[in-house]
A = this chain, B = another copy of it.
């Protein structure tokens, strides 16, 4: 029996590691395996390699290397950002369509969830009206991981700057920080934090062709953070534990490759995504496309067929080698309805008829043509049952 060629269209859930990333990590497994905190020469070489990787990561964001806290992925980064800032008290503003890590961490603090528009836009006005004098942190992801809407971070940052100005004038001392999870933005959005107007930024190696369970939190040196994990004093005392030497070096390589390819990938993925969207739109007059179509991640297409049982379609596609998602991997696993689709006001019936296609670096036009054919055929068959 021949295994059919798989067409992977779930890059938002996980990305394969780039072979170049694996190659730069390899020496640090069994040759340069030394503890970077050990004092002898070979260990100092390892320390230098980490420092070099940190500097490469910093360059992409336009930040100082010592402002970067290496973590075990975006979930930990988000938790350090939220718990680390909110430990000193105050109020938190975020949106109802953020990642589970943000929502779960927010729950322990006084917080306001703003509702996005039906296209998934978290508007500056909604943030403005949620701000209180004691608001200490605002957290909005650069883009939604299900429907792909890119958020107006710079406009939100202006609102926050106006509030800071107001506090200064009033003699109020409470700081106001802006955090964004940019895991879905690596390689498709500029990560320059000054341009985005951020104080804290989360990134995830596992979403940009690097290793899983490797991430970072950038925090501007003016941000006061309480550590979650204490011990040997690594990562400027904010996050203890012997460094993931290979992981950090791999992450730097992965992010740099993603940054180098960014312009061409945005164009290529947009074309392929639009091709898939056009094929499906042609075949189904009643199919709806979610998200803010003018500012969407180039690789994401989220569609709804009212009345369809998308989960059945997902498994039928799986049998034919086409791998897609009905929601984020976390939610899918628990059999719960996507809080993002609920959050943008989609009816349960429509939410249950939704599929997310997410394209990535290895997606080809041939794959898109073949996937479109299989999806159209499968949805038509499912609807005629």
Chain B residue at minimal CB-CB distance from A325: B38
The residues of B that contact A16 with a CB separation of less than 8 Å are 29-31, 33
Extra contacts besides A18-B30, A105-B231 (12): CB < 8 Å: A17-B30, A19-B30, A37-B330, A38-B323, A40-B318, A73-B241, A75-B229, A75-B241, A78-B231, A101-B230, A101-B240, A213-B244
A5-33: CB near B (< 8 Å → 1, else 0) gives: 01000100111111100100000011101
Asked if A100 is at the interface of the complex by the 8 Å CB criterion, the answer is yes
- CB-CB < 8 A to A230: which residues of B? 79, 101, 104-105, 107
Q: Is the CB of A39 within 8 A of B228?
A: no
> Given the complex of chains A and B, what is the CA–CA distance between A78 and B231 in angstroms?
9
A residues 239-279 in Cβ contact with B at 8 Å: 240-247
With both beta carbons as reference points, the residue of chain B lying nearest to A336 in the complex is identified as B233
- For the complex, give the distance between the alpha carbons of A104 and B228 in Å: 11
In angstroms, Cα B42 to Cα A317, docked, is 12
Q: Is A99 an interface residue (CB 8 A)?
A: yes
Contact with B along A351-379 (1 / 0, CB 8 A): 00000000000000000000000000000
Among B17, B38, B311, point to the contact of A329 (Cβ < 8 A): B38
The answer to the question of A280 belonging to the interface, with a C-beta cut-off of 8 Å to chain B, is no
Q: Which of B212, B243, B311, B333 contacts A212 (CB 8 A)?
A: B243
Task: Give the distance to chain B from A35, nearest Cβ to Cβ, in Å.
Answer: 4
List residues of A (198-256) whose CB comes within 8 Å of B's CBs.
206, 211-213, 228-234, 240-247
**Taking the nearest CB of chain B, how far is it from the CB of A285, in angstroms?**
28
Q: Is the CB of B75 within 8 A of A246?
A: no
Is the beta-carbon distance between A79 and B229 smaller than 8 angstroms? yes
A318 cross-chain contacts in B, Cβ below 8 A: 39-41
The 6 closest A-B pairs by CB, nearest first: A101-B231, A232-B330, A72-B72, A213-B244, A75-B241, A104-B230
Q: Which residues of B contact A101 (CB under 8 A)?
A: 229-232, 240-241
A101 smallest CB distance to B (angstroms)? 3
**Contacting residues, chain B, for A17 (C-beta < 8 A):** 29-30, 33
Q: How far is the CA of A229 from the CA of B227 in the complex (A)?
A: 12
Q: CB within 8 A of A314: which of B40, B206, B330? A: B40
A34 on the interface (CB 8 Å rule)? yes
A76 interfacial contact with B, CB 8 Å: yes
- Taking the complex as formed, is A174 at the interface, i.e. its CB lies under 8 A from any CB of chain B? no
Q: A213-B243, A242-B206 are in contact. Are A14 and B42 (CB under 8 A)?
A: no
Question: What residue in chain B is nearest A33 (Cβ atoms)?
Answer: B16
Query: In the complex, what's the smallest C-beta–C-beta distance from A320 to chain B, in angstroms?
Result: 11
Q: Is A194 an interface residue (CB 8 A)?
A: no
Chain B residues with Cβ below 8 Å from A243 are: 212-213
In angstroms, how far is the closest chain B Cβ from the Cβ of A51? 13
Q: Which of A310-344 touch B at CB < 8 Å?
A: 311, 314-315, 317-318, 323-326, 328-330, 332-334
Contacts of A332 in B (CB 8 A): 37-39
Contacts of A15 in B (CB 8 A): 33
What residues on B are CB-neighbors of A35 within 8 Å?
10, 13-14, 329
**Interface contact B231-A75, CB-CB below 8 Å:** yes
Asked if A231 contacts B30 (CB within 8 A), the reply is: no
